[in-house]
Chains A and B, each alone.
Chain A
């Protein structure tokens, strides 16, 4: 299909042994996709495999219809950015310097940003609601602010796809909403493809265009309503008495 930015075919995750597979899925520009599944199923591994920082066993990942294994790491970074679940906080690292690392592949040998990129950083901080924070010590930010900073850092990377590993874990309900609305806005207004892992099914169902479900019986892809209809959520947990409630969007 044309217009698809990311395609995975018969992807099997893992390095020495298989962790999960096969995964067949796709993502297009402007789509917001939630990756859900039980703990330890391999959500992080899938995200890391897509972003090229972890090997996978077999199958194909295509970025712009090119095999990811034939694309250099630097070029992958221009197509995909990754927001790890918990980035270490470096003391005395200013927010500006933290976000500017997203420009890594465009800076000179000393890592100095261009005037253009400096403008972009300031403007991006503005977009994530951290205007005036540039000089702050990034390690002193609240969890919600830090997560927005990490998103700003991935935005200045100017990639079409942004992968986020549990961006709303550890956040209170207000910050959870701020982050998810921000992600939604980036998908609809900037046509970025946003893929994030989460345990919050209600939020995923309400906000996302598509859900990737790493169930115990296999991988499912579809619009939230489709997955609800065909009972895919019930396969999420193996040998469990938990039932998915189609009206509450949660397990009971």
Chain B
């Protein structure tokens, strides 16, 4: 890091916003919880019993899920954008979400064929997560197996996109032969959701995301070199293949795990790194990785809060909200930086 350059103020501003957003997220919903009751419930126990129930069984798990998803998807998107030096890269560019989708589609079809009861049951939800994770990991494994034969990152990108396309085609084929209830279970998964995760599921997800974050921090040094081109990186003695492998494994742990439990959450992974770059105006990943993680967490918690706004009349799918609020934000930021 450059000596004497401090980003403390921007980090602090985002951190404060994050805390405010978390509190608002916990307050708002189909039932509005008064601030006093919120703090009473967190520090000790609220005198209103349903408040404890709503908070501890629904909203706190949900906000933790949103936090994890925001951090994981954003940090993952940042690494993909740097690896491919492509501003349009996102966590799913190599077909991880398609792989996860294929896993889910196969599971939904298979489970109904074996007469396992649909939607809602814990086994069904865990089964979906396991199948999605296996699908995502399968795609990554396939890419890792061929990656040493692809000399340039751009060929890797094309290979990944092709794998994604063929996987999507297989999913469509499966959907074509599915019953309407199977289709509904699958489509519900693709809409993305942070609700309904049990604490056990959140634990499993954290256990997978955490090593992904650690690995991402380890990737910082190499990511900074990749910014300056592959030929230069190689001339420094950087092992391109090993670096790629580490980034791909981090991607699977981060995006694969979030997708497995929450569905494919779009937009965040591509937009947040850009927002962080515009806020911090620094390409150094020592600054960008924490910046992206923090910004991603704040935006995801905000997205989830907006999704709950209809209150009594239900919840908007996360993917709808993330696109609706995210796209204008990123367009505004791009316009501002272009013409300022």
Contact = CB atoms under 8 A, between A and B. Distances in A.
Given A97-B224, A105-B236, A110-B221, A84 B286 contact: no
- State the majority secondary structure of interface residues on B: loop
B238 A110 contact: no
Nearest to B280: A92
Contacts of A169: none
Interface in B188-237: 217-218, 220-221, 224-225, 227-229, 231-232, 234-237
A114 to B, nearest CB: 12
Nearest to A163: B235
Contacts of B238: 73, 104
A51 interface: yes
A76 B283 contact: no
A56 B52 CA distance: 69
Given A97-B284, A111-B220, A76 B229 contact: no
Which of B5, B85, B283, B286 counts the most chain A CB atoms within 10 A? B283
Interface residues of A, number: 37
A88 B221 CA distance: 18
Contact of A97 (B220, B232, B283): B283
B228 A98 contact: yes
A150 B89 CA distance: 27
Contact of B236 (A48, A94, A104, A135): A104
B184 interface: no
Interface string A34-70: 0000000000000010011100000000000000000
Contacts of B283: 90-94, 97
Given A53-B235, A92-B283, A87 B2 contact: no
A77 B237 CA distance: 6
- Give the contact-size bracket for chain B: 20 to 34
A46 B65 CA distance: 53
A209 B283 CA distance: 40
Given A82-B231, A87-B232, A111-B286, A74 B237 contact: yes
Nearest to B284: A97
Given A53-B234, A109-B218, A110-B220, A94 B2 contact: yes
A232 B110 CA distance: 74
A136 B213 CA distance: 30
B248 to A, nearest CB: 20
Interface string B21-56: 000000000000000000000000000000000000
B3 interface: yes
A105 B232 CA distance: 13
A96 interface: yes
A110 to B, nearest CB: 6
Interface of A: 48, 51-53, 72-77, 80-82, 84, 87-88, 90-94, 96-98, 101-102, 104-105, 107, 109-112, 118, 134-135, 157
